[in-house]
Structure 1
Amino acid sequence: MILRVTRLLLLVLALALPVLAQAQTSAPLDYAAWDKLASRAETMVQDDSAAEAAFDDIRNTLTDWRAKFQQAESTNATQISTVKAQIDALGPAPKEGETEDQAIAERRKALNDQLAQLQAPGIRATEAASRADSIIANIDRLLRARQTDKLMRLTPSPLNPINWPAGIKVLSGLGGALASEMRAQLEKPDPYATARDRAPVIVGLLLVALVLVARGRRWIMKLADLIEKRLAWRTQRVTDFLVSIGQITLPIVGVTLLVTALIQTALFGTRWTEFLMAVGAVVSAFFAAIWLAGRVFPRNDRQSAPFTLQPERRREGRLLTVSLAVLAAMQGPFGDWVVKRGEAALDTGATTSEAVDSVGKLLDAGFGVLAFPLQVLAAILLFRFGQLLRRHLRNETSASEESAFRDRLVGLLGNTLIVVSVIAPVLGGIGYVNAANALIWPTIMTLGLIALVLVLHLFLTDLYVFITRRNDEGRESLTPTLIGFLLGLAALPFAALIWGARSSDLLELWTRFRNGMSLGGVTISPGVFLTFAIIFVIGLMVTRLLQGALKASLLPKTKIDKGGQNAIISGVGYMGIFLAAVISISAAGIDLSSLAIVAGALSVGVGFGLQTIVQNFVSGIILLIERPISEGDWIEVGGQMGVVKAISVRSTRIETFDRTEVIVPNADLIAGQVTNWTRGNLTGRLILPVGVAYGTDTRKVEEILLEIAKNQSLVMMNPEPTVIFNGFGADSLDFEVRVILSDVNFIMRVKSEMNHEINQRFTEAGIEIPFAQRDVWLRNPEVLQGALAKPEREPEPEPEPETAPDMADKTPHPVTREDLGTPQPGEGMEGVQQQDGGSDGGDR
């Protein structure tokens, strides 16, 4: 894993200098050497017998050749463009059966020959690059097939006791090889001579190494506590992270110095040196895991934690993280050393196929027996880790959508760990040891990568809050989210390496991405996109500067109204964006003519799916050109009345008098009926209805109303205000005061002031302002009053059948006026008629 990451870093550094590589003058290509190399590579692919290292070497060579060919494809590009322009200047070639002037024909032939000669190197380079690309793809396909076969290979089951001696034999072989190498070193004439000569350096390295390993982390923790007490809370988290890096740096430096000191003694041979380096990698992984576990599962609450867990669960999380890291390191660098040296220790020099197969089965059985206990232990830890993540879901109380999405991811990760922890040991126990290793150890390393991304995201978020001097709400802003997204993208190549991708695969993917993708005959590459983006952004900035200059300096000094100024500024903005897009497309070398078919197909979708948007866009352009309304106008449209605040391309924003915003599509303003109260001028008419009681002197009322209207400062005298006697209403004599205001925006204020004046003047003049009245008439009050005043009758005894009188002879008891009594409110409303009363306030 460490070697793969190192290769990826070197690959990134190599790819960061493509411009310098292209700037160098390329030497003439040796196509004869290329043909030999290509033929040898094709033979190797057909035979499929070479080792993986040999394929990697020849693939790297092919990649270098392909890069040279791709660079040579643009040979004579400037001259080719010039000759093509000369051919176009001659006009179209004559059709079959037609002739043209002999001089033009000769010139056309000479230019075509020259063009073919200039294009020949590029065509040959393109052909060679295509051949190299094909061979590289075949090599990649072959290596992936080998990798798949290796994963699916069934080896002897480690659960079978018959295979256990093979594991013991592998360990004994490794121990014997180390012992024999040490004996060989000690049997030299003076094995300690080098150690004595380098004693000061070795002793110094050992002392520094032991101090850093034993006390380094404790020093850093004390330094963090000391600094934290003297810093503000925004600075504490950033400083705590930066200082905590020393907790991993100092111990790893100490381990490196310790291994270096031991190697400097010259007492260890090649096997022992590799063994010490493997052990050093495991110890370094241990210290790195301690630091990472402390950041993901912090010991105290002052650090930001990505998971919501109780202190005892965080302690368990730290223990699980460190244990998984140590196991992964033992399987990684240390396991690679065991495999490499175990094969060498059990190599008996067998030549026959039966002996080779026997040694291979022994190695498979031995490695499976040694790997299976680590797989089982790692599976148990993974299972517990998955349960720990699920416990986070039970403790999480946030109800936001972002937290819910994050919790779903955490739950999915926890379930995945549980599933892997069950499947991997089963595969290993059956005998698919390689498949089990390829499943469980990449899962553990992916967990470490995810933890590292979370820690970096928390640190960068804290740094953003510190730089912007924002409170904790700044953590929920857009910038930290984008930082997390970019960190996730940056982690994808490392995740690919963890799961078995080769650095050459990533290089091939980057090469294809850099060469671009074809869309409608147009090749879109990162260079083209970057050129387009840079020029477009520059054009957009120039447009915004021009708009700012017009808005602040030039337009205010003209006689153009506010709406016209906004229309000019908006038009300059749209035109600038259009020109920036056209210029950037041309500078990027994108030929829009080849996208004509694609554009034609998209236009159908635009015509149907985006019909409303296009309609509103065109309406917005019309509004900006004709300017029937402008910002600040008081308009009424679709039952909504308010002041225009902004006019955009798609819609217009209106602020009503209730201080609410209404978004009106521009198509409604063009196709619908719009009332603009302030467009032409600010004058407007106010009609104020007034009613007085019957019997009032109408001429006096007219005189008072006219005087009140003329005394208002906003009432115009041309035309003069008028008072109209409308007629005789149901409750009053109806008048109207009609005035023209110089500023209709103050119509409500003038109306209120005039009402106050009318009330005051009418009171002083004794003029009554009536209100609606109704008279109630009762029909047949005697009958109603008698029915209300009649007492309840006692129940009469039932007559005997033989003496019952004839019912037809009985007469009703007459009701007199004295029986009616006084009616109570709300009683006896039968037969009520309503009649409009007068307005004089008297009863009828």
Structure 2
Amino acid sequence: MTYLTRCVFAWALALCLVVSPVWAQGLGPDYTEWDQLAQRVEADLERGDASNARLESWRSDVVVWRDRFLAAQGDNDVRLGTLQSQLKTLGPAPVKGLEEAAEISSRRADLLEKIARLSTPGKQAVEAFTHADGIVSEIDQTIRNRQADALLKLGPSPMNPAYWPLAIADLSKSLALSFEELAKKWAAPSIRENARAQLPAIIMLLFIGFMLISRGRKFALRLANAVQTSSRRGRRVLRFLVSLGQVFLPLAGVYAATQAFVLSGLAGPRWTLFLEHIPIWFGILLGIHWLSQQAFHNNDEVAVLQLAPDERGKAQWFCDVLAVLYVAHSALVVLTQFDNYSVESLSVAEFPLLVLSGYYLFRLGRVRNDAAMAGTAAARELDAGVFRLRLARLLGRAAMFIGVIGPVMAAIGYTKVGYAAIYPTIASLSVVGLVFVFQAFFAAVYATLRNQDEDTEEGLLPVLAGVALTLLALPALALIWGARMADLTELWSRFREGFLLGDTRISPTDFILVVIIFVLGYMLTRLLQGALRSSVLPRTKIDQGGRNAIVSGVGYVGIFLAAVISVTIGGLDLSSLAIVAGALSVGIGFGLQNIVSNFVSGIILLIERPISEGDWIEVNGTHGTVRDISVRSTRIETFDRYDMIVPNADIVSGVVSNYTRGNVLGRVIVPVGVAYGTDTRKVEKILMNIARDHDMVLMNPAPSVVFKAFGADSMDFEIRAILRDINQGLSVRTEINHQIVERFAAEGIEIPFAQRDIWIRNPEVLPGATPPKDESTT
């Protein structure tokens, strides 16, 4: 009985766990609880004494509620759509003075009551969402104002010698406390006993760390150089992957050494915090050193930014020094978490690091700017790397400016302005360099996969990869320059909310769904076109022009259906835009009437098919072969082998001669003249035999010879014959003319030609002419 009771209780508990979330979701948000939370948050905002941490906590709670309200806005949309459709079927409400049937009136009132009742939760959710969104914006604005006030607050100048002894004393005290903590730990017998017990593991970790730190980077560097000098395919990709060992192998050694120190038990709270940051600091040092080698490598095939040989070593040295100064600044910030430094001591302790960082930042910026200035002209001639060099020049000038203005502002007393200028610039340059390096890596991967020369960076995919890397780097840059994580999440929330188009809210998920469905419909359309073109239509008796028309029509219909289906399934209600679209269509119709006319003419050509691909036609006195019929124009390849693009409207409305429509039969006419006095019957017989003997001339209908006229110089005859293929008309006419000359010569028939007598007046004026004799002297 007890076992049965436990089973029933367990099943009841499981049922409650399953049903309770669904029940809570069906009930919707608890607006009473929300009002209480909103009142507390607004009270803190009005007082203005809440800390930033408390405001961030309030903000997180409000964002959760805002997401609930956003989800609750569309809970009854499906049911409301059904009720609205039912209401439309009843027709418009009667105007005053007119009555409708009681049943219809009662049904209309019932539907209106249901619509009003189901619309209330959505409207309440919209109002609560607006309220929550306003509170979030107010919290963000308050925190931003506080950050701006703290940044622009004038503090003590580190150039004041009165603050120097205090700063030195605070730093000495921090170092003394750190070593004192370590000595206290070592003095404890339990700690020493634990260290002796863990001695084998500590020695093993220290040995691994020592080997990886001292040998790992050199091994990875030698291996990367060996790969680079090889001639194997994909050497740039393999070298890049191997070169990452210069970072990860020593970093693994540093992590092993820190774990050995933690395992010894000698680390107190102060040293534990340092040990947690040591791998991060060494990762920064190793990463920036590797990045500088990739960006300013001695080998031009590896280097991302081309510098003069003597400048590359300088650039790498400046990057390494900036990395050390950045880590030193971070270590000082960690140290202040334990020791409450005064504002004067902190500004004095940070100022030397800030000055050195500004100096080396200026030097690095000048190297980049000079190299970009020298390389832009050469890159412009090759049309390659111009954007990268221009960006490097811009970043170089910005680094030079910030390297000067940062220490100057700190010396005046705006220490936080100096921090906010120098160190984010160093981090930003590292991120930009990382984007350049990985973009070059993706270009090498693309070239390897395409079996192309790895030195080329042609192709659309590497460019898209660079765009994607840039987009991924934007959040990191925003965080570097002071943006809060809440700002990024807020931006992402705004993006997820989408935008209003008419009365419809379009979210990114809806847009992606529409794009995916349209792409699938487009692919299915192309697949169906390919099947019709290669498998179905060739088995029918439809001519080539009809096949092309069917394939084109299927393509247009398929793309239209894909667009309609994608919009419908995506849930986009564009009915509210119908009036706007109608007005736009009228304006577009007037502005693009020629294009619309050509489009309609193209559809007419595809349906009526007066011409087809491969037809020999004549348009405006130009002969050619139809090569392509699109919706706007028709491409005709002339016999001179150039393309003539004719608008479809000109073909539909003009006169077009089609020589091969339906078949390739065609008639040729070969004229010939004979001298007067020739036996015309004999000439007719000879010409008839020549026509009949040619292989391309059809016997049904039979060729004919026409005694056309008595010309001024000859009796004119014509051979008229139907050819099997009119495309061979010129060669047939040439061959017949050759046969006429040969047969006439054999039969002694003369082909006359025009002769002219020329009379010259006053021939004596011509140069070298003999003067006429004087008749009186004879």
TM-score surpassing 0.5? yes
The 1:116–1:300 alpha-carbon spacing in structure 2 relative to 1, beyond 3 Å, is same
Amino acid paired to 2:334? W
Residue 198 of structure 1: how far off its partner (Å): 2.5
Per the normalisation by structure 2, the TM-score is 0.88
Q: Deviations over 1:265-284 (max 9, x none)?
A: 33232223323444443322
Contact 1:646 1:654 in 2 (8 A): yes
Q: Aligned with 1:476: secondary structure?
A: coil
Q: Aligned with 2:304: secondary structure?
A: coil
Q: Aligned with 1:475: secondary structure?
A: coil
Cα distance in 1 for partners of 2:400, 2:775 equals 100
The 1:633–1:194 alpha-carbon spacing in structure 2 relative to 1, beyond 3 Å, is same
Q: Aligned with 2:293: secondary structure?
A: helix
Which 10-residue stretch deviates more, 234-243 or 315-324? Answer: 315-324
Match of 1:315 in 2: 313
In structure 1, list runs of 5 or more residues that go unmatched.
1-21, 347-358, 791-813, 820-844
CA RMSD, 1 decimal: 3.2
TM alignment of 1:612-761, pairs within 5 A: 612-692=594-674, 700-717=682-699, 718=701, 720-729=703-712, 734-761=716-743
Cα distance in 1 for partners of 2:619, 2:139 equals 70
Q: Deviations over 1:661-716 (max 9, x none)?
A: 23222222222322211124433232323345666555544443333223223234
The 1:690–1:284 alpha-carbon spacing in structure 2 relative to 1, beyond 3 Å, is same
Cα distance in 1 for partners of 2:408, 2:734 equals 89
Contact 2:167 2:346 in 1 (8 A): no
The 1:220–1:85 alpha-carbon spacing in structure 2 relative to 1, beyond 3 Å, is same
Amino acid paired to 1:741? L
Q: Deviations over 1:16-38 (max 9, x none)?
A: xxxxxx99974853433322221
Match of 2:542 in 1: 560
Report which structure shows greater RCO (CA 8 Å, sep ≥6). Answer: 1
1:46 aligns with 2:46: yes
TM alignment of 1:191-590, pairs within 5 A: 191-224=191-224, 233-301=232-300, 303-331=301-329, 333-341=330-338, 344-346=339-341, 359-360=342-343, 362-363=344-345, 365-366=347-348, 369-390=351-372, 393=375, 396-397=378-379, 399-472=381-454, 475-590=457-572
Aligned length: 755
Cα distance in 2 for partners of 1:474, 1:818 equals 97
The 1:372–1:440 alpha-carbon spacing in structure 2 relative to 1, beyond 3 Å, is closer
Contact 1:633 1:678 in 2 (8 A): yes
Which 10-residue stretch deviates more, 508-517 or 417-426? Answer: 417-426
The 1:624–1:156 alpha-carbon spacing in structure 2 relative to 1, beyond 3 Å, is same
Amino acid paired to 2:36? K
Q: Aligned with 1:171: secondary structure?
A: helix
Partner of residue 765 from structure 1, selected from 747, 752, 767: 747
Q: Deviations over 1:767-800 (max 9, x none)?
A: 4445565544444556769x8679xxxxxxxxxx
Match of 2:147 in 1: 147
Contact 1:528 1:588 in 2 (8 A): yes
Match of 1:834 in 2: none
Q: Aligned with 2:613: secondary structure?
A: coil
Per the normalisation by structure 1, the TM-score is 0.82
Q: Aligned with 2:244: secondary structure?
A: helix
Amino acid paired to 1:194? N
Residue 104 of structure 1: how far off its partner (Å): 4.2
Residue 244 of structure 1: how far off its partner (Å): 1.9
In structure 2, list runs of 5 or more residues that go unmatched.
1-20
Residue 118 of structure 1: how far off its partner (Å): 3.5
Which 10-residue stretch deviates more, 243-252 or 707-716? Answer: 707-716
Amino acid paired to 1:201? A
The 1:149–1:539 alpha-carbon spacing in structure 2 relative to 1, beyond 3 Å, is same
Cα distance in 2 for partners of 1:473, 1:379 equals 31
Q: Deviations over 1:306-357 (max 9, x none)?
A: 22334433333322332333333333x324314434xx433xxxxxxxxxxx
The 1:408–1:300 alpha-carbon spacing in structure 2 relative to 1, beyond 3 Å, is closer
Residue 169 of structure 1: how far off its partner (Å): 4.3
Residue 510 of structure 1: how far off its partner (Å): 0.9
Which 10-residue stretch deviates more, 627-636 or 658-667? Answer: 658-667
Residue 647 of structure 1: how far off its partner (Å): 1.2
Amino acid paired to 2:247? I
Cα distance in 2 for partners of 1:818, 1:339 equals 140
The 1:473–1:240 alpha-carbon spacing in structure 2 relative to 1, beyond 3 Å, is closer
Amino acid paired to 1:233? R
Match of 1:836 in 2: none
Q: Deviations over 1:427-450 (max 9, x none)?
A: 333333322322232222222112
Residue 630 of structure 1: how far off its partner (Å): 0.8
Cα distance in 2 for partners of 1:778, 1:410 equals 84
Cα distance in 2 for partners of 1:406, 1:635 equals 52
Amino acid paired to 1:345? N
Residue 513 of structure 1: how far off its partner (Å): 0.8
Residue 634 of structure 1: how far off its partner (Å): 0.7
Amino acid paired to 1:723? V
Which 10-residue stretch deviates more, 245-254 or 264-273? Answer: 264-273
Contact 2:703 2:719 in 1 (8 A): no
Q: Deviations over 1:441-490 (max 9, x none)?
A: 22222221122112222222222222233344873122222222222222
Residue 754 of structure 1: how far off its partner (Å): 0.9
Cα distance in 1 for partners of 2:765, 2:748 equals 44
Residue 611 of structure 1: how far off its partner (Å): 2.8
Which 10-residue stretch deviates more, 770-779 or 310-319? Answer: 770-779
Amino acid paired to 1:125? A
Cα distance in 1 for partners of 2:22, 2:400 equals 53
Residue 163 of structure 1: how far off its partner (Å): 4.5
Amino acid paired to 1:123? K
Amino acid paired to 2:449? I
Amino acid paired to 1:508? E
The 1:620–1:384 alpha-carbon spacing in structure 2 relative to 1, beyond 3 Å, is same
Contact 1:166 1:365 in 2 (8 A): no
Cα distance in 2 for partners of 1:291, 1:473 equals 21
Q: Aligned with 2:381: secondary structure?
A: coil
The 1:780–1:110 alpha-carbon spacing in structure 2 relative to 1, beyond 3 Å, is closer
Q: Aligned with 1:132: secondary structure?
A: helix
Q: Aligned with 2:637: secondary structure?
A: strand
Residue 631 of structure 1: how far off its partner (Å): 1.0
Residue 263 of structure 1: how far off its partner (Å): 2.7
Cα distance in 2 for partners of 1:467, 1:783 equals 85
Contact 1:157 1:368 in 2 (8 A): no
Contact 2:236 2:454 in 1 (8 A): no
Cα distance in 2 for partners of 1:783, 1:466 equals 84
The 1:492–1:623 alpha-carbon spacing in structure 2 relative to 1, beyond 3 Å, is same
Contact 1:83 1:115 in 2 (8 A): yes
The 1:780–1:457 alpha-carbon spacing in structure 2 relative to 1, beyond 3 Å, is closer
Match of 1:838 in 2: none
Contact 1:637 1:675 in 2 (8 A): yes
Which 10-residue stretch deviates more, 449-458 or 135-144? Answer: 449-458
The 1:263–1:472 alpha-carbon spacing in structure 2 relative to 1, beyond 3 Å, is closer
Match of 2:71 in 1: 71
State the 4+ residue runs in structure 1 displaced beyond 6 angstroms: 22-25, 782-785, 787-790
Amino acid paired to 2:63? T
Contact 2:164 2:345 in 1 (8 A): no
Cα distance in 1 for partners of 2:750, 2:163 equals 119
Amino acid paired to 1:451? G
